Amino acid sequence: MDRILKALQEGKEQKPQKFEQLKKLLYIEPFTTKEYSDKLGLGLDFKGNTTLNRTQDFVVRAYVVNSNPIEIRRAIYLRLEALLPGENAFSQVNSIPQIIQINEYQESNDGLNFTYRAFPELTSFRDLKRVGTVVLRLKATDGQYTWTSKNLTLNVTNSPPVLSDLSIEAPNPTRYNDPITYVANVTDANGDAVNVTLHILDEKGSERSNATQMVTSGQRVQFMASQYGFFNKDDAGKNFTYYYSFGDGINVSVTGIQKGPQLKKSTAIWVGRPKVTPEDQNQYWWQSYNFSLEMKNQEPEDAQVQVSLYLDTKAHPWRAIASQNVVLSGNPKAVYFLVKPFDVLDANQSFRYKFEYSEYDQNQRDHIEQDAQAPLSAKLVRYDTISALSLGNVAAILLLAFVLGLLLERRFYR
């Protein structure tokens, strides 16, 4: 026996052709007994609605009924095949066939040998690039016979992305060089990444520029005008519109045309000499202060500008004090704010003040800041000890205490 084996090994290495001939000569065709049944029950088991969303999870199983007794049964090889939308031929879902061994059947009450096989390779159509009808079928073989199941037809749908809360975040009125941001909320029920393109239209409705961003579902898409260079000085005074086109790779949608931004006509102003003049050199907190600023329009026509005054103290950081609209011409004009802006907490503190204006100045800034030359006086109370107000305060306390005493005595001790 050893000698035969050794001769065969040598023959395989030295005379492969002869070895192949010998193999063919000795090959025995697979055979089955006469009792072997070539009928196999084969079906696809799918629970739930056959119209389903791409991301919806499901379980598809093979149901196999083998009527042969275990003694003559053969192993069954199972393949799941799918015909995807837009394709002409079935493709194999499980690259490695599932094998049902001869002893892997259960016996039902009516004597049928059956088994189920799930396919973990197919639990959803998440990665489907096109939606529509998907046909599934099973192919089984025992090496001699081949069986094919009935087709299972599924209708696969996609949830298109949604763009909501479209708006433009910008100061009002909006200047061409203000921070202008187009924002919208992006949602996709399937959790797909959404490709969003912003289209900006000019006054004639023609597209003048666009920009694209890839956004994941649930995020806010933001297009900053300054980042993409949407507007320039020549656009001042023009009205623009915009819309979005967006898609998840399957569905592509377009929003309606939205208004905005309406860019304000640009004005170049000149500002200078910010100044604060206290009512008294002692700079008490209770006094009036005159805050002033010189302003003019650098262009010949009149321009309406809003000017606001802000004060910064330790107790009240950058508090808005007052605001006014001024008309600026080519001649310099002093803008005044005569106010009593401080309270007792500001006593003995230094302060800063700021004028904010609705147009850009000669330095392309919309505000000018200045430090006060001296801190406020530390004195907290504005009147003297011997004064009507001081005595009035004492008299008020005394009077109320006396009235209280009178009332309590009458109420509880009479």
Partner 1 sequence: MNLLGHDIFEAYMLICLVAILLLGGTLHVMYLKMIESMVLRTEESDFNLGDLMRSMHISQGSNFNIMMILSWSLLFVALAFLYLLTPSIFPEWNYFKIPRVASLDWGFAIFGVAALIPGALISIFVPKVYSYYLIHKRLKAIAAATPVLLLGSIICSMHLGIIYPTSNPFFWNLGYMMLAAAAVLMILPISIGFLEAWRQ
Binding residues for partner 1 (CB under 8 A): 285-286, 315, 343-345, 348, 378-385, 389-390, 392-394, 396-398, 400-402, 404-406, 408-409, 412-414
Least distance (Å) between residue 411 CB and partner 1: 9
Nearer Cβ to partner 1, position 47 or 414? 414
Residue 218 phi, psi dihedral angles, 5° rounding: 90, -10
Beta strand 152-157 with 51-53 is parallel
CA dist 309 and 293 (Å) reads 10
Least distance (Å) between residue 350 CB and partner 1: 16
Least distance (Å) between residue 378 CB and partner 1: 5
Beta strand 220-224 with 319-328 is unpaired
Least distance (Å) between residue 284 CB and partner 1: 12
Least distance (Å) between residue 265 CB and partner 1: 43
CB 292 within 8 A of CB 309: no
CA dist 265 and 267 (Å) reads 7
Residue 26 phi, psi dihedral angles, 5° rounding: -90, -10
Nearer Cβ to partner 1, position 40 or 347? 347
Helix-helix angle 16-26:2-14, to 10 degrees: 120
Nearer Cβ to partner 1, position 268 or 404? 404
CA dist 249 and 218 (Å) reads 17
Nearer Cβ to partner 1, position 362 or 393? 393
Q: CA dihedral in degrees (243, 246, 252, 256; nearest 10)?
A: -20
Nearer Cβ to partner 1, position 19 or 286? 286
Nearest alpha carbon to residue 342 among 280, 388, 273: 280
CA dist 53 and 47 (Å) reads 14
Radius of gyration of the chain (CA): 44
Which residues neighbour 261 within 8 Å (Cβ) at sequence distance 6 or greater? 168, 170, 174, 180, 240
Nearer Cβ to partner 1, position 59 or 320? 320
For the record, the structure tokens of 80 come out as 């799941």
Nearer Cβ to partner 1, position 327 or 389? 389
Burial 307-318 (b: 16+ CB within 10 A, else e): bbbbbbbeebee
Nearer Cβ to partner 1, position 195 or 377? 377
Least distance (Å) between residue 339 CB and partner 1: 14
